Structure 1
Amino acid sequence: MNIEQIRHPFTDIFPGDLSNNPMQRNTPKVLFATTKPAGFDAPELIAFNETLSEEIGLGPYKNQDLDFLVGNHLPGNVKTYATAYAGHQFGNWAGQLGDGRAILAGEIINKNGRKTEIQWKGAGATPYSRHADGRAVLRSSVREYLMSEAMYHLGVPTTRALSLALTGEDVVRDMMYNGNPQLEKGAVVIRTAESFLRFGHFELLSAQREYNTLEDLADFTIENYYPEITTDGIQKYKDFFEKICTRTADLMVEWFRVGFVHGVMNTDNMSVLGLTIDYGPYSMMDEYDLNFTPNTTDLPGRRYAFGKQGQISQWNLWQLANALHPLIKDDKFLEDTLNHYGTYFWEAHDQMLCRKFGFDELLESDEEFFTNWQGLMQELQLDYTLFFNQLEKLNTESDFQSLFADIVYIPLDNRKLKKLEDFAGKYEARLTTNTISREESLALMKHSNPKFTLRNYLLYECIEEISTGKTEMLEKLTRALENPYEELYPEFSVKRPSTYDDTTGCSTLSCSS
């Protein structure tokens, strides 16, 4: 890899703590602290994303690159640092936070001018680790490496993963926070993004009343990541906030399209570029449930449940609006923009559902159709991904028992079959209002509905296998996630086996990593 071209525009512009002191502490009035990766004596590469490496300008992997991938023996041009931010966690102001397990190497620009930030996750403590060790364990690292790439290939805006490596050391974690700590294998992921800037970076500066630096950060973000904004003065920051709102709404719609549940939508886990960021206790949807949350820490309130993600994203944008208020200074504009967010989100959401069902346009009557469909999905516990796959096969001769029996999580009796049949009749009637052919309708569905999603039980099996030193399933899942709209492996396109219904680390997860 060519790592000699890494640069550090963020640290060159903003004030930081340059003491190289890794001790965990508050760092008021600064946006970053230089800190070094811990270093590991016996690392082992598990996976390297050759395609991504070529795309971002690092080139092919060489054996000596492993040292860089785990943060050992860095070249002199790399100045490593962690950033400070704040945030609201589970609805409560948490004060200063920051990159507790993430250390930035800097930014690389490829031959086409594309900028990409490179960041280690799990490479050691930073001043923002809050009395933690800054390490990551194998299970969480595998989950981030695979799911970020799965989301990318699904067409969902996301951070991406360059490499996955074992550190050679064991890390103590209490997976379910129940007083049962265990030794687990440590690992490091290198993740990439156009930028890792979060809502929380702006919240921190605003809370500290560092308004000049807040303005500098907004200008930096606009210049580097929103070049389409060409206005000046207050209008520039208004346009900036509107575009963040639009990108965030579009991201939430994509999450709903593929059935992704983030699990911990704190404001510090929200990207100002509208990317999916921080893959912790997430899950792809198995049985459809608007109240589903994969995060045990989110119980019993289910603040971050699947069906609440649009609402929570709006709440998070309110907090960003408060942070940007010193620059925008227009309460009515912010209120109107956030009120419009709900309108925009639901229209985009329903347009997305139209494409999933193969409808060429949104009709006024579709709101009732979608509501009835949601009720059916919840009552019958139908598998979200597989339902749409089977819907593509539906015709007037369909045997509902054979078509849907293998995608429900409860037995199908005659009453439930009748409900499915009634829905199918309404669906067929709705299709007749299309102005496109059935072939064109099916093309819409096939483009919108993946055949493969990276379910938690598959990740669980993959992590168990890697723990024994094998990587066959990892390689197979990688091929599947790179082609999610094809059924490369029919054995992966099935509902979650009942044996995993109550398996810790599969059906339920915590924030522990």
Structure 2
Amino acid sequence: MNIEHIRQPFIKKFPGDFSNNLMQRNTPKVLFATTQPAGFDQPQLIVFNTTLSEEIGLGKYEEGDLNFLVGTHLPENVQTYATAYAGHQFGNWAGQLGDGRAILAGEIINETGKKTEIQWKGAGATPYSRHADGRAVLRSSVREYLMSEAMYHLGIPTTRALSLAFTGEDVVRDIMYNGNPQYEKGAVIIRTAESFLRFGHFELMSAQGEYKTLQDLVDFTIENYFPEIISSGDQRYKDFFENISIRTADLIVEWFRVGFVHGVMNTDNMSILGLTIDYGPYSMMDEYDLNFTPNTTDLPGRRYAFGKQGQIAQWNLWQLANALHPLIKDEKFLENTLNNFGTYFWKTHDNMLCRKFGFDELLKEDEEFFTNWQGLMQELQLDYTLFFNILEKTTPEADIQELFKNVSYITLNEEKLKKIQDFIKTYESRLKLNAISKEDSLAIMKKTNPKFILRNYLLYECIEEITHGKTTMLEKLTQALENPYQELFSEFSSKRPSGYDDIAGCSTLSCSS
């Protein structure tokens, strides 16, 4: 890899340069602290993303690159650092936070001029680790590596993963926070993004009253990541906030399209660029449930449940609006933008559902159709992904019992099957209102509805294999996730086996990583 090409524009522009100090500390009036990866003596590469490496300008993996991938060997020109940010966590102001396990190596520019930030996760403690060790365990690292790549191939804005490696260390974690800590294999992932800037970076500067630094940060962000903003003065900052609102709404609608539940939508986990970031206790939805949350820490309130993600995105934007108010200073504009978020979000959401059903446009009566469909899905506990896969094959003459026998997580008796039959009749009637052919309608569905999703139980099986030195499942899942709109492996086109219902890591997860 061409690691000597890594550069660091961010570190030169903003105040900071705290020396490497692993004790927890506040860093007022700065956005970062320099820090060094811990380094590991016996790393072992698990997987390297050659395609991504070549895309971003690092090239192919070469002998000796592993030491860089785990943070042991650094180019001479690189000064590694962690950033400080703040955030609202589960609705409460948490004050200063920061990169507790993430260390930025810098930025690479490929031959087309595209910029990509490179960041280790799990390479050691930083001044923002809050008494933690800065390490990461294998299970959370595998989950982030695979899911970020799965989201990318689904066509959803996301951070991506360059490499995954064992550190050669064991790490102690209490996976369910129930007083039973255990040793787990340690791992390091390198993740990439155009930028890792979060809502929380702007919240921190505003909360500290560092309005000049806040303005510098916003100007830097617009200049580097929002080329579409060409306005000046106060309008420049208004356009910035409006753009973030639209990107955020578009992202959450995409989550709804594939059934992704983030699990911990704190403001410090919200990307300023509208990327999916920080893959913790996430899950792809199995049975359709608007109240589903995969995060045990989110119980019983279910603040971050699947159906609430649009609402929470708007709440988080309110906090960002408060942070940017010193620059925008127009309460009416901010209020209107935030109120318009809901209108834009639901229109975009319903247009997305139209595509999932193969409708060519959104009609007035579709609101009732979607509401009835949601009720059916929840009552009969139908698998979200499989339902649409089967719907593509459904005809008025189809045997509903045969088609849907393996789609529900409950037993479908005659009464329940009739409800599906009645819905299919309504659906066929709605399809006749299309101005496009049945073939064109089906083509829209096939582009919108994935055949493969990375279910938690598959990740669980993959992690178990890797723990025991096998990579067969990893290779198979990678092939499937790179082709999510095709059915490459029929065994992956099935609902979650009941044997995994109560196993930690298969249905629900904690924030432990």
Which bracket does the TM-score occupy, shorter chain normalised? over 0.9
CA contact (8 A) 1:22 1:36 kept: no
Aligned to 2:334: 334
**Structure 1, unaligned runs of 5 or more:** none
Aligned to 2:184: 184
Aligned to 1:14: 14
Aligned to 2:376: 376
User: CA separation in 1, counterparts of 2:499 and 2:93?
Assistant: 39
* 1:54-203 matches, cutoff 5 A: 54-203=54-203
Shift of 1:173: 0.1
Deviations 1:149-183 (A, max 9, x none): 00000000000000000000000000000000000
User: CA separation in 2, counterparts of 1:349 and 1:429?
Assistant: 22
Q: Which amino acid aligns with 1:239?
A: D
User: CA separation in 2, counterparts of 1:425 and 1:78?
Assistant: 63
CA contact (8 A) 2:40 2:167 kept: yes
* 1:96-495 matches, cutoff 5 A: 96-495=96-495
Deviations 1:343-364 (A, max 9, x none): 0000000000000000000000
User: CA separation in 1, counterparts of 2:182 and 2:436?
Assistant: 58
Alpha-carbon RMSD: 0.5
CA contact (8 A) 1:456 1:507 kept: yes
Partner SS state of residue 205, structure 1: helix
User: CA separation in 1, counterparts of 2:133 and 2:142?
Assistant: 19
User: CA separation in 1, counterparts of 2:78 and 2:374?
Assistant: 51
Shift of 1:20: 2.4
CA contact (8 A) 2:23 2:131 kept: no
User: CA separation in 2, counterparts of 1:20 and 1:149?
Assistant: 32
**Structure 2, unaligned runs of 5 or more:** none
User: CA separation in 2, counterparts of 1:102 and 1:301?
Assistant: 29
User: CA separation in 1, counterparts of 2:40 and 2:353?
Assistant: 48
CA contact (8 A) 1:17 1:27 kept: no
Partner SS state of residue 33, structure 2: strand
Shift of 1:22: 2.9
User: CA separation in 1, counterparts of 2:299 and 2:17?
Assistant: 38
Shift of 1:77: 1.1
Aligned to 1:50: 50
Shift of 1:75: 1.6
User: CA separation in 2, counterparts of 1:135 and 1:385?
Assistant: 34
User: CA separation in 2, counterparts of 1:504 and 1:247?
Assistant: 33
Q: Which amino acid aligns with 1:433?
A: L
TM-score when scaled to structure 1?
1.00
User: CA separation in 1, counterparts of 2:41 and 2:67?
Assistant: 10
User: CA separation in 2, counterparts of 1:235 and 1:13?
Assistant: 24
Give the paired residue count.
513
TM-score when scaled to structure 2?
1.00
Shift of 1:74: 1.1
Shift of 1:51: 0.1
Shift of 1:24: 1.8
User: CA separation in 2, counterparts of 1:75 and 1:268?
Assistant: 30
Shift of 1:17: 2.9
Shift of 1:73: 1.9
Shift of 1:21: 2.3
Deviations 1:288-310 (A, max 9, x none): 00000000000000000000000
Q: Which amino acid aligns with 2:390?
A: Q
CA contact (8 A) 1:8 1:107 kept: yes
Shift of 1:23: 2.4
CA contact (8 A) 1:37 1:72 kept: yes
Shift of 1:49: 0.1
Partner SS state of residue 302, structure 1: coil
Aligned to 1:30: 30
CA contact (8 A) 2:85 2:96 kept: yes
Give aligned-pair identity as a percent: 81
Partner SS state of residue 64, structure 1: coil
Partner SS state of residue 64, structure 2: helix
Shift of 1:222: 0.1
